[in-house]
Structure 1
Amino acid sequence: MEEAIFLVKQQRSNFKDFYFSFCGHSKTFPSHSFGPAVRDVFLIHIILEGSGYYSIKKTNYHLSKGQGFVIYPGESTFYQASEEQPWEYVWLAIGGELVESYLSNLGITPAHLSFEVTNLADFHALILQCLAYEQDTQLNELILQKIAYNFMELLSKSMTQTLKESHSTKMNGYVLESLEIIGEHFWRNITVKEIAEKLMIDASYLSRLFKKDIGISIKSYINEMRISTSRDIIATTNLPISKIAEMVGFPTTQAFSKAFSKGMGLSPFAYRKERIGSNREIS
């Protein structure tokens, strides 16, 4: 579970070089996880408090307060808060043809995705500033563009170094394959037994390996993925809750609402009503 506020925007103008996509702030609960997920934009995280890890390309990277990481478009990632000191972070998603070169000039590349920063309060303030411009107007879009550039300017000024040797651990091969299977089939009622059979491995042994590397059970992970996926759909579309429940693998709307409320602390309907950045009419 997490306490999160965020802003998602659909582009009104045809920005190609650099554009604001979405942003937010999250204060997570112990062992809260997100993903695996794939984005079509660059996603920059700044850790304000606590610690956790993110997984990309078979490796877990462990980070803490004062550090950050970038997720590149098209990369499948998973991240999880520490059980002892769950992290709090802000994020900014930006797209455009120039973003990769901007990041590369700062030393952030696919080989070096993590970095250290100062001025954490300034990053936090910029993201909170974005949240004030939720109405879909041309002026607000231009203001968000300006804030996104200010974020990159702040990153340039406050980044002290990229983390070429951050603490990392390799994930077990069976766990990696399990994540891929779950990512492809989480929307249906896939079981631990089915996953183990696909991998030709004992289900109990697979469960132990998975818990060791990911920190939660396979069943809990599948549920987290369904909830996190549904959260994105609720926040960015006007699809009926019943349709979303079906899309993420719940047999009934009631079962989905119960699981969503347990994970998020409020019902799907309340979450949609309270989300930031929506001025669509909800039916």
Structure 2
Amino acid sequence: MEKSWVKKFEEQEQWFRELFLCHCGYSICESGHHFGPAVRPNYILHYVLEGKGTYHIGNRTYELEKEEGFLIEPNVMTFYQADEQQPWQYLWIGFQGSRADKLMREMGLSYRVPTFSSGCGEELLRIVQSVLHDERDGIEQMLFHQSQMYAFFSCIARSISTQNSEFQMGKRNYYVQAAVEYIQNHYAQEIKVQDIAEYVGISRSYLATLFQSIMHTSPNAYLMNFRLSRAKEQLSLTRFPVGMIAGMCGYKDALVFSKAFKQHVGMTPSQYRKLDRASQNKGLYHTE
């Protein structure tokens, strides 16, 4: 069981379609109290004020305690449960809107990275309590609730951005590593930078920023270079037609492939193959 204080909002969507508050609340859970497995129709950010608990999403389990939180995304099966010895107390806000997904990813939260830590628990509690106890009505009430929702996001975003640099660098490296692995495993398909960003769970602009910072190149340039390096291997090691190699390296159009190859390497694929074969033959001649 749990003791909960909840407030729901029904008119926010018609005024604030890009981002609006659906509900918020505060719960004191008893030992082992759980919710789910279930899916939710909107985004929910939980924040642990006291105690401990576990959050299950996909095949992953997160052990969470005071000053940590977790994101639930719409239509994703989740399960969370209070610890038997130290059951948690938490607050939450539920929200939705056309910009909700982008906002979460800009803050560094997603299905792949659904947890966070923040030391602003007292401020978050004041925000939620101000909404729960608010007695305004009409447009004044809706605007106040909207402002408190943004204050909630601002508080979490601020605390996430000021976490120690080692943690942040580790998270940034994780995103780039995941992106590189995706490219290596899917370069033969017609993937684009947007596909890579969606797989990693961050925005395209943030992915580009991370690549420039860590790899000193753009995601698109890395993808192209990786494809062309694989094309050079195929030209050297096989007798496959150039058009077939183009398709094997993610280029649907052989002419586009040849143009990119020449711009990158300085010669056409056929010229590269001819020069490489001549070089190999020369090497064999000198070793005999």
Task: Please indicate the TM-score interval, normalised by the length of the shorter structure.
Answer: 0.5 to 0.7
Matched AA of 1:11: E
Q: Mean Cα displacement is larger for which, 103-112 or 66-75? A: 103-112
Aligned partner of 2:114 in structure 1 is 113
Aligned partner of 1:29 in structure 2 is 30
Q: Percent identity?
A: 30
What is the deviation of 1:134?
Answer: 5.7
What is the deviation of 1:110?
Answer: 1.4
Aligned partner of 1:6 in structure 2 is 6
1:246-265: CA deviation from partner (whole Å, max 9, x where unpaired): xxxxxxxxxxxxxxxxxxxx
What is the deviation of 1:14?
Answer: 3.4
Q: With the length of structure 2 as denominator, give the TM-score of the two structures.
A: 0.54
1:197-220: CA deviation from partner (whole Å, max 9, x where unpaired): xxxxxxxxxxxxxxxxxxxxxxxx
Aligned partner of 2:72 in structure 1 is 71
1:46-71: CA deviation from partner (whole Å, max 9, x where unpaired): 10111101111132221111110000
TM-aligned CA distance change 1:55 to 1:3, over 3 Å: same
After the TM superposition, which residues 196-215 of structure 1 pair with which residues of structure 2 at under 5 Å, given as runs?
A: none
Counterpart secondary structure, 2:15: coil
Conserved 8 A contact 1:7-1:134: no
Matched AA of 1:73: P
Aligned partner of 2:128 in structure 1 is 127
What is the deviation of 1:106?
Answer: 1.6
Structure 2 spans left out of the alignment, 5+ residues: 172-288
Counterpart secondary structure, 1:3: strand
Matched AA of 1:10: E
What is the deviation of 1:137?
Answer: 2.2
Aligned partner of 1:156 in structure 2 is 157
Pairwise CA RMSD? 1.8
2:45 equivalent to 1:44: yes
Conserved 8 A contact 2:120-2:156: no
Counterpart secondary structure, 2:86: coil
What is the deviation of 1:136?
Answer: 5.4
Aligned partner of 2:20 in structure 1 is 19
- In 2, Cα distance between the equivalents of 1:82 and 1:74? 25
Task: Return structure 1 stretches of 4+ with deviation > 3 angstroms.
Answer: 161-164
- In 1, Cα distance between the equivalents of 2:60 and 2:147? 35
Aligned partner of 1:140 in structure 2 is 141
- Greater helix share, structure number: 2
What is the deviation of 1:132?
Answer: 2.0
Q: With the length of structure 1 as denominator, give the TM-score of the two structures.
A: 0.55
- In 2, Cα distance between the equivalents of 1:149 and 1:38? 24
Q: Please identify the structure whose Cα radius of gyration is greater.
A: 2
Conserved 8 A contact 1:48-1:65: yes
- In 2, Cα distance between the equivalents of 1:121 and 1:33? 24
After the TM superposition, which residues 153-232 of structure 1 pair with which residues of structure 2 at under 5 Å, given as runs?
A: 153-159=154-160, 160=163
What is the deviation of 1:16?
Answer: 1.3
1:15-42: CA deviation from partner (whole Å, max 9, x where unpaired): 2111011000001111111122221211
Aligned partner of 2:104 in structure 1 is 103
- In 2, Cα distance between the equivalents of 1:37 and 1:134? 32
Aligned partner of 1:267 in structure 2 is none
Structure 1 spans left out of the alignment, 5+ residues: 165-283
